[in-house]
């Protein structure tokens, strides 16, 4: 069964595999928000959570949440950015 969830640290290895699959195919990662951008998974997750808070309004950004489509083994198939 598939579920739409926020990425968490226990998905770290599966998340890296998901990104690697995009890179191996030579495709641009979509949504671009799902790229690690040189950050550790811990920093990436922390940054995602900060983008869900009212603090984003100070920088004139819209609140946004990244969700991943994962199965019961946390294998990730897709990512969606929801504002």
The burial of 61, by beta-carbon neighbours within 10 Å (0-12 exposed, 13-18 middle, 19 or more buried), is given as exposed
Please give the structure tokens belonging to residue 25.
Answer: 């195919």
Q: Lowest mean pLDDT: which of 8-12, 39-43, 47-51? A: 47-51
Closest CA to 34 of 64, 74, 71: 64
Domain boundaries defined on the chain: 3-82
Please give the structure tokens belonging to residue 27.
Answer: 């495709």
Residue 4 has pLDDT above 90, yes or no: yes
Looking at every residue in the chain, the average pLDDT score rounds to: 89
Give residue 63's pLDDT band: very low, low, confident or very high (50, 70, 90): confident
Residue 77 has pLDDT above 80, yes or no: yes
Question: Whole-prediction pTM value?
Answer: 0.81
């Amino acid at each position: 069964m598939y579920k739409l969830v926020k990425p968490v640290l226990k998905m770290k290895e599966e998340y890296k595999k998901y990104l690697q699959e995009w890179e191996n195919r030579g495709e641009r990662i979509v949504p671009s928000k799902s790229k690690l951008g040189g950050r550790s998974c811990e920093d990436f997750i922390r940054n995602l959570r900060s983008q869900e808070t009212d603090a984003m309004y100070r920088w004139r950004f819209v609140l946004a949440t990244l969700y991943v489509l994962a199965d019961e083994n946390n294998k990730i198939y897709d990512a969606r950015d929801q504002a």
